[in-house]
Amino acid sequence: MKLDDKLYLVRFNTDKLNHIKISDPKVCLNQCQDKPCTRFCPAHVYDWDEEEKRISVGYEGCLECGTCLIGCPYGNIIWKYPRGGFGVSWKNG
């Protein structure tokens, strides 16, 4: 089963405010060869945008696990919880 189809099953109360920020996009472009965030995020929130030469962040699909905060080798992802009441809302847990 494809990840996109699975994410479609998840319930979100999407906030207008983005709770994820790339601290310095130049670090992604110049220092980070491997870009592991594009793989280790269970929801594939992070994607390398070849045209814009930056990591695009689809915060709306964030499952709030916190992997990116710990996994980014440059500590370049500022990940916080969404505001109270927003974000993922599990049906089963």
Partner 1 sequence: MENFDVIIVGGGPAGLSAAISAANGGMKTLVIERGDYPGTKNVMGGILYTKATDMVVSEFWKEAPLERPIIEQRIAMLSGDESILAGYRDPDWAKEPYNAHSILRVKFDRWLAQQAEKAGVMIITETLVEDLLYQNGNVVGVRTGRAEGDLGAKVVIIAEGVNNFLAVKTGLAKPLKPASVAVTVKEVIALPKEKIEDRFCLDEGQGATIELYGDSTAGMMGVGFIYTNKDSISIGVGAILASVIREQWTPNDLLENLKSKPYVKRLLQGGETKEYLAHLIPEGGYTQVPRLHRQGVMVVGDTAMLMNSLNREGSNLAMISGKIAGEVAAQAIKAGDVSDQAMAVYEARLRDSFVLKDLYHYRHMGQFFENNPHLLKIYPKMFSKAAKMYLTADGTPKKQRQKEIMQMLFNQRSKGGIIKDIYGAWRALL
| Interface residue list for partner 1 (CB under 8 A) | 1, 3, 6-7, 9-10, 13, 36, 39-40, 42-44, 63-67, 69-71, 73, 80-81, 83-85, 87-93
Side chain identity, residue 8: Y
Assign residue 54 a region (left: φ > 0; alpha: ψ between -120 and 50; beta: otherwise).
Answer: beta
CB atoms closer than 10 angstroms to residue 31: 11
* Cα–Cα distance, 42 to 93 (Å, whole number): 16
| Least Å from the CB of residue 52 to partner 1 | 22
| Least Å from the CB of residue 85 to partner 1 | 3
Side chain identity, residue 20: I
